[in-house]
Amino acid sequence: SGKMAAAAGAGSRGAAPSPGTGAVQQGLKEALFEALGSILSPVQEVRAAGEEQIKVLEVTEEFGVHLAELTVDPQGVLAIRQLASVILKQYVENHWCNQSEKFHPPETTERAKLAIRELLPNGLREPISKVRSSVAYAISAIAHWDWPEAWPELFRLLMEMLISGDVNAVHGAMRVLTEFTREVTDTQMPLVAPVILPEMYKIFTMAEVYSIRTRARAVEIFTTCANLICAIEEVEKGAAKALIFPVVQQFTEAFVQALQMPDGPSSDSGLKMEVLKAVTALVKNFPKHMVSSMQQILPIVWSTLTESAAVYVRTEVNYMEEVDDPVDSDGEVLGFENLVFNIFEFVHTLLENRKFKSTVKKALPELIYYIILYMQITEEQIKVWTGNPHQFVEDEDDDTFSYSVRISAQDLLLAVASDFQSESAIALAAAATKHLQEAEQAKSDGNVHWWKIHEACMLALGSVKNVITESLKNGRIQFDMHGFLTNVVLVDLNLSVSPFLLGRALWAASRFATVMTPELIQQFLQATVSGLHETQPPSVRISAVRAIWGYCDQLKISECTHVLQPFLPSILDGLIHLATQFSSEVLTLVMETLCVVCTVDPAFTISVENKVCPLTIAIFLKYSNDPVVASLAQDIFKELAQIEACQGPMQMRLIPTLVSIMHAPSDKIPSGLCATAIDILTTVVRNTKLPLSEVLICQAFPVVAQCTLHTDDNATMQNGGECLRAYVAVALEQIAQWHDDQGHNGLWYVMQVVSQLLDPRTSEYTAAFVGRLVSTLISKAGSQLGENLDQILRAILSKMQQAETLSVMQSLIMVFAQLVHNQLEPLLEFLCSLPGPTGKPALEFVMSEWTSRQPLFYGQYEGKVSTVAMCKLLQHGINTDDKRLRDIMVKGEEIFNADEGIRTRSKAAKNPERWTNIPLLVKLFKLLIGELSSAMEANVARQSTAAEWNQDEVNDMWEDQDDDDEDDDEGLAGQLLSDLLNPGAGVRYDDDYYDEDDEDDPDTLKDPLYQVDLQAYLTDYLRQFAQQPCYTPFSDHLNEKEKRVLRSIGI
């Protein structure tokens, strides 16, 4: 390393000449010290030189040791120590262990590791908290790899620090444990829990010795361990019993005590928040174990909820008194609202477990009363929203990403309303009635904040309006809705207490349009139109826009839109005014509403096309880089395109604009604009009545084809492909008849684009949609493709050999799946005539890629196309005893060592995967059973959600039914913990699987396969298959799980 030192010295000479010292003689440590100094320099060049210097030094053996020495040197310069400690943390992540995901060579030598492990623990006693925290991070990162084997004494050191009485040492040691437990591996946990948990219990319960923050951290460490042990339990039965059950009882009792402790020197809302998180984790992860403690826990959490409400209303909602929020050791303010969030989280957890659900049901009337208190607008929100209308739109949106007590209270209300529909309607009606009476009293007592309760009651009733209107219809609730609308909502509209009350009243009225008398609707609509006026405060205008959206939506459903007609012209003017005055969130809300207004009355929309269309084009061009605005503009164009009388004029305005964007050189227009323009063109093509106009065929089509062929932008290429697919799907004849001056017709252009998208030189992502384009081409123009089809399939095969991303592979494989449906024999012939990457026929390559990826495919339609194609292939293989399919062998199942236990990251890296080899037809059979199993699970999940509503009466809370279903242990051996905590399995069958709305692709919706009920289809198919003489050799290959699936359908 003498040369290194010279190089390092030479580097630093250029950076900052240091007179008198021969740079060559500088030791590496001095060079490092100097480099750190340079990085702290205000001069950019000096900083850059320092960073380069660090890169040079990073590969030397002593680099980490020197960083550690500089970090823990109490005489050192503070800024240098802090920087050294941060770089040390990164160094450990990057160089300590070659198994790390962030590893870069060289790996730290054993000698250096030993020195660093010796040095660092001293840094945990450091009085400066930033240095102490960085040291703790570094130690925890080292412990992740080295404890217990290489660093057995670490825990003894930490435990000594915890009882040392030195405040800094306690904080440092707790910091290490907090970080370490977050990253702990499944193999370390059995060693960690028995050591750490009893110590955490001591710290938590010794209120006179340890500070509130240290005790809160002890609880946080307990919670982290509880969550991880639960994850381990899923794979290794008995883990919870051994590791956490021994301490649950004592911790729970201590938690119950802590929640009852009034705020003071040994308790505050920050500590209670951690305790609640811990209790919630226990109830969620180990419900059986917690049943006996629930009688103690519930009343205490309940009183925390009710007492906190009073504090919250005084300090946050109405700001009548200051509150001292606790601050944690990193300077984070632990606001009181965090405690409230965790109370709500606890209730959500009760709802998720059928043992505890009924406790919530019993408490509904009181619970909803308190939820409304927490839903009130705070003084802080009034201040923010008054100053920033965009924030008001963002925070009050149904799908907001903001988080506040008001929003989480609404979430909880929606959760109980969906779990107990009729009970929550009754409870809400009672709670609202009580609140409104109390508000009346507060108002007459001169309380200026009375209106906030009105606002919250309207918000609560409006949020769950379906539950309320249903219950009113079938007479389950006694609530005078007409009285509420006339005596509360309408009356509040005439008061000028707060624009936020006015706005909420407009919105609330629109939610209940279907239960109003015609006179009342008239009055409210009149008020809403006035609310749009530009003399009104922004929050009132915004609420009026939301109300209009509500009226259009509601009145369309009940087919009463004639009520709206007289107001439409003023509504449109108001919306156009707002659209020209505001941008971002307000603008998007206005455009959503404008789009709905266009659907109310076609005759009106035809009369205002000349206002709506130019406005939308102008907004689209002005905010071209905002994807949300672009997609809303598209929605408006779509509505206009569907009204025949608007088609012509709209195309004359819009298409020339789109054509000129597609013509423009890419450096002359904002990036992304061209791709968006093509997207809008696709929408017009898909939604226009046929035949397509001359403008669309002779002007737009050739331009979009040229644009796609000559762009190097992936998004433009992808959207171009999708646009041509729309043309092929909708108007194949028309584009086949059109031709350019050279005599090339439209199909020739489409073929060029397909080749371009599949070109091995373009990015693989451009191929993510090409499968759909090719499938549409084949189904629409199969016979006209001739030689071209072979050429496309060859290109797909070579693209498959390059592709790495699942979505791209799926898109390419889908083309072969489609061909199995309509041209099976020609497909098999073609694939056998070409060599694959290994020299064997390409058929083997396609089959092994397809079968290995089938379980990962996502998308309901794609799943059906692929699964039914596999059924056809298997049937064909057996009926014809097709040698081409019979001889192919593919990967079967992964082989695990029985003695391997759970796969830690290091084991996974050392032992590569091993698989069995099985015949293709057997693999197809096994995959079909897997698909049936997934479809059955998805159907069961769907039915159980529906059945849960009727189930509540049956399971009362204390019946300890055995919930331990026979869990299926197969296939879990060797999973990494991190995978267990974010299971991505069964992607095709997630919660939205059965929302029919999620498929908006028109070609898909027309395909009869889309309507297939996969469970019924596969059940029928497999039952027939089991009758065939060849079934026995197939059944020999099945594992237990597959046999169980077949038994469930009677095979």
| Average pLDDT of span 461-486 | 92
Q: Cα separation of 769 and 765, whole Å?
A: 8
Residue 329's pLDDT band, with cuts at 50, 70 and 90, is low
Contact 206, 250 (CB under 8 A): no
pLDDT above 50: residue 167: yes
Residue 897's pLDDT band, with cuts at 50, 70 and 90, is low
Q: Cα separation of 857 and 842, whole Å?
A: 21
pLDDT above 90: residue 987: no
Average pLDDT score, the chain: 88
The residue among 263 and 9 whose pLDDT is bigger is 263
Total Cβ atoms within 10 A of residue 885: 22
At 741 the pLDDT is 92
pLDDT above 60: residue 476: yes
pLDDT above 70: residue 92: yes
At 333 the pLDDT is 63
Residues 6 or more apart in contact with residue 528 via CB below 8 angstroms:
506, 509, 510, 544, 547, 548, 551, 567
Q: What are the residues facing 891 on neighbouring strands?
A: 917
At 321 the pLDDT is 76
Judged by average pLDDT, the poorest of 452-456, 680-684, 832-836 is 832-836
The residue among 998 and 283 whose pLDDT is bigger is 283
Judged by average pLDDT, the poorest of 276-290, 295-309, 682-696, 780-794 is 780-794
Helix boundaries (H) for 375-404: 379-387, 389-395
pLDDT above 70: residue 377: yes
Judged by average pLDDT, the poorest of 391-395, 750-754, 954-958 is 954-958
Q: What is the pLDDT of residues 343-354, one digit of tens each?
A: 999 999 999 998
Helix boundaries (H) for 624-759: 627-641, 644-663, 673-687, 694, 701-710, 714-737, 746-758
| Radius of gyration of the CA atoms of the chain, in A | 34
| Average pLDDT of span 417-437 | 95
Contact 977, 231 (CB under 8 A): yes
Concatenate the DSSP letters of all residues of 972-991 into one string.
-TT--HHHHHS---SGGGSG
| Number of residues that make up the chain | 1051
pLDDT above 70: residue 258: yes
Would you call 210 helix, strand, or coil by DSSP? coil
C-alpha dist (Å) from residue 488 to 436, 481, 493: 9, 10, 9
Helix boundaries (H) for 803-919: 806-822, 824-833, 842-853, 860-879, 883-886, 905-910
Residue 941's pLDDT band, with cuts at 50, 70 and 90, is confident
Helix boundaries (H) for 664-713: 673-687, 694, 701-710
At 787 the pLDDT is 82
